[in-house]
Amino acid sequence: MVRFPKFSLKFSEALLLSNGQDGSYLLRKSNEREDLYSLSVRRSTEACSTVS
């Protein structure tokens, strides 16, 4: 796993779309709350995100 600095949702999804392939994902700290993480996953030609 590679950890990145605090990326925004928009930047994370753009990074996956420009450099990722199907199934690529990026886990980052949530910008909303310090105790949550956001998972962005590339699926075909889109990137989907969820927070938990």
pLDDT confidence bin for 2, thresholds 50/70/90: low
Q: Which of 11, 21, 14, 16 is nearest to 44 (CA)?
A: 21
| Predicted confidence (pLDDT) per residue in 8-39, tens digit | 888 888 888 898 788 888 888 888 888 888 88
- pLDDT in the model for residue 5: 65
24: phi then psi, degrees, rounded to nearest 5? -65, 145
Q: What's the CA gap between 48 and 13, in Å, rounded?
A: 7
pLDDT at 52 over 70: no
pTM for this entry = 0.68
pLDDT of residue 1: 58
Which CATH architecture is the domain 9-51 placed in? 2-Layer Sandwich (3.30)
Confidence of residue 3 (pLDDT cuts 50, 70, 90): low
